[in-house]
Amino acid sequence: LAPWIPVVGLEIHAQISSNSKLFSGSQVQFAAPPNSLVSFFDASLPGTLPVLNRRCVEAAVMTGLALNCSINKKSLFDRKHYFYADLPAGYQITQQRVPIAVNGSLSYSLCIDNKMSQMVTKTVRIKQIQLEQDSGKSLHDDTRCQTLVDLNRAGVGLMEVVMEPDMCCGEEAAAAVRELQLILQTLGSSQAVMAEGQLRVDANVSVHHPGEPYGVRTEVKNINSIRFLAKAVDYEIQRQIEELENGGTILNETRAFDSRLGCTVPMRDKEGKQDYRFMPEPNLPPLILYDAKSLPANINHQQVINIDWIHERLPDLPSVKREKLVEQYGILPEHSFTLLNEDGLAEFFESVVKQTQMKPKKVIGWILNDLLSYLKQHSLTVKESPVTSFLLADLLNLLEKKEISSTAAKRVFAELWKGEGKTPLEIVKEQKLELLQDQKELEQICQAVIDGQENE
Amino acid sequence: AALKDGLRSQVSAALKEGRVTPTELCQRCLALIKSTKFLNAYITVAEETALKQAEESEERYKRGQPLGILDGIPIAVKDNFNTAGIETTCASNMLKGYISPYNATVVQKLLDHGAVLLGKTNLDEFAMGSGSTDGVFGPVRNPWSYSKQYKEKSVPRSHSADAESKWVITGGSSGGSAAAVSSFTCFAALGSDTGGSTRNPAAHCGVVGLKPTYGLISRHGLIPLVNSMDVPGILTRCVDDAAVLLGSLAGHDPKDSTTIQDDFKPFELPSLTDVSKLSIGIPKEYHAPGLSSEILALWSKAADLFKNAGAKVVEVSLPHTPYSIVCYHVLCTAEVASNMARFDGLEYGHRSAMKDSTESMYAATRREGFNDVVRGRILSGNYFLLKQNYEKYFVKAQKVRRLIANDFVKVFRSGVDVLLTPTTLSDAAPYMEFIQEDNRTRSAQDDILTQAANMAGLPAINVPTALSERGLPVGLQFIGRSFQEKQLLTVAKWFEKQVQFPVIQLEEVKKHDNGAFQHQKSASFS
DSSP symbol at B449: G
For residues A65 and A171, state if they share a domain.
yes
Please give the Cα distance from B154 to B158 (Å, whole number): 12
Average pLDDT value for residue range A344-360: 94
pLDDT band at B512 (very low <50, low <70, confident <90, very high): low
Chain A: give the shortest CA distance to residue B337, in Å: 10
For residue A349, which of A374, A316, A382 has the smallest C-alpha distance? A382
Does residue B335 lie in a domain region? no
Residue in B130, B145, B183, B197 annotated catalytic: B197
For residues A42 and A86, state if they share a domain.
yes
Does residue B234 lie in a domain region? yes
Residue B102 forms contact with A (CB below 8 Å): yes
At residue A282, the pLDDT reads 98
Please give the Cα distance from B491 to B499 (Å, whole number): 13
pLDDT in tens, B277-328: 999 999 999 999 899 999 999 999 999 999 999 999 999 999 999 999 999 9
- Paired with A12 in beta bridges are A161, A201
Interface predicted TM-score of the whole assembly (ipTM), two decimals = 0.94
For residues A108 and A185, state if they share a domain.
yes
Our answer to whether residue B173 is catalytic in this structure is yes
- Candidate from A79, A147, A277 with C-beta closest to B358: A147
At residue B160, the pLDDT reads 54
> Within 13 Å, how many C-alpha atoms sit on residue A440's CB side?
0
Using alpha carbons only, what angle is made at residue B464 by residues B433 and B180, rounded to the nearest 5 degrees?
Answer: 70
Does residue A394 lie in a domain region? yes
- Candidate from B102, B219, B343 with C-beta closest to A40: B102
Does residue A178 lie in a domain region? yes
Residue A348 forms contact with B (CB below 8 Å): no
Please give the Cα distance from A37 to B391 (Å, whole number): 39
pLDDT in tens, A186-219: 999 999 999 999 999 999 999 999 999 999 999 9
Residue A278 forms contact with B (CB below 8 Å): yes
Please give the Cα distance from A176 to A123 (Å, whole number): 8
Give residue A29's Cα distance to chain centre.
19
For residue A55, which of A101, A98, A16 has the smallest C-alpha distance? A16
- Paired with A204 in beta bridges are A9, A219
Residue B235 forms contact with A (CB below 8 Å): no
Residue type, B89: T
Using alpha carbons only, what angle is made at residue A286 by residues A280 and A288, rounded to the nearest 5 degrees?
Answer: 160
Residue B158 has pLDDT above 60, yes or no: no
Count up the domains in chain B and report the number: 1
Residue type, B406: N
pLDDT in tens, B67-109: 999 999 999 999 999 999 999 999 999 999 999 999 999 999 9
For residues A364 and A239, state if they share a domain.
no
Instruction: Quote the mean pLDDT of chain B.
Output: 93
Does residue B117 lie in a domain region? yes
For residues A269 and A324, state if they share a domain.
no
Angstrom CA distances, A37 to A29, A105, B228, stand at 8, 36, 29
For residues A204 and A249, state if they share a domain.
yes
Enclosing domain of residue B499: 10-152+167-324+396-512
DSSP symbol at A252: -
Enclosing domain of residue A152: 5-287
For residue B478, which of B289, B210, B181, B178 has the smallest C-alpha distance? B210
Residue A284 forms contact with B (CB below 8 Å): yes
pLDDT in tens, B415-456: 999 999 999 999 999 999 999 988 888 888 889 999 999 999
Cβ partners under 8 Å of residue A6, min gap 6 = A168, A169, A205, A206, A207, A237, A240, A241
Does residue A299 lie in a domain region? no
Residue B138 has pLDDT above 70, yes or no: yes
Does residue A294 lie in a domain region? no
Residue type, B397: A
Does residue A305 lie in a domain region? no
At residue A166, the pLDDT reads 97
Substitution target from A147, A273, A277, A281 for chain B, most B beta carbons within 10 A: A277
Does residue A381 lie in a domain region? yes
Our answer to whether residue B271 is catalytic in this structure is no
Residue type, B255: K
Does residue B478 lie in a domain region? yes
* Strands A263-266 and A254-258, sheet pairing: antiparallel
Helix pair angle (B239-249, B105-112), 10° resolution: 110
Please give the Cα distance from A239 to A258 (Å, whole number): 14
Interchain contact, A83 vs B256, CB within 8 Å: no
Residue in B78, B109, B120, B493 annotated catalytic: B78
Tell me the CA end-to-end span of chain A in Å, nearest whole number.
Answer: 69
More confident position, B332 or A419? B332
For residues A15 and A70, state if they share a domain.
yes
Do residues A26 and A39 lie in contact, with contact meaning Cβ atoms separated by under 8 Å?
A: yes
Does residue A100 lie in a domain region? yes
At residue A258, the pLDDT reads 93
Residue type, B72: G
Please give the Cα distance from A25 to A56 (Å, whole number): 12
For residues A97 and A208, state if they share a domain.
yes
pLDDT in tens, A247-299: 999 999 999 999 999 999 998 665 467 899 999 999 999 999 999 999 988 88
For residues A271 and A328, state if they share a domain.
no
pLDDT band at B523 (very low <50, low <70, confident <90, very high): very low
Count up the domains in chain A and report the number: 2
For residues A330 and A268, state if they share a domain.
no
Does residue A98 lie in a domain region? yes
Instruction: Quote the mean pLDDT of chain A.
Output: 92
At residue B157, the pLDDT reads 58
Question: Which residues in chain B are contacts of A43 at CB distance < 8 A?
Answer: 347-348
For residues A282 and A328, state if they share a domain.
no
Residue A172 has pLDDT above 90, yes or no: yes
Average pLDDT value for residue range B56-62: 96
Do residues B369 and B343 lie in contact, with contact meaning Cβ atoms separated by under 8 Å?
A: yes
For residues A66 and A192, state if they share a domain.
yes
pLDDT in tens, B187-217: 999 999 999 999 999 999 999 999 999 999 9
Query: What CATH number does the domain containing B132 carry?
Result: 3.90.1300.10
Does residue B357 lie in a domain region? no
DSSP letters spanning A360-395: HHHHHHIIIIIIHHHHHHTT--GGG-SS-HHHHHHH
At residue B1, the pLDDT reads 54
Question: Which residues in chain B are contacts of A147 at CB distance < 8 A?
Answer: 358
Q: Is the peptide bond before B173 cis (omega within 30 degrees of 0)?
A: yes
In terms of Cβ atoms closer than 10 Å to its own Cβ (0-12, 13-18, 19+), residue A130 is buried
Question: Which residues in chain A are contacts of B258 at CB distance < 8 A?
Answer: 49, 282-283, 285
pLDDT in tens, B354-407: 988 889 999 999 999 999 999 999 999 999 999 999 999 999 999 999 999 999
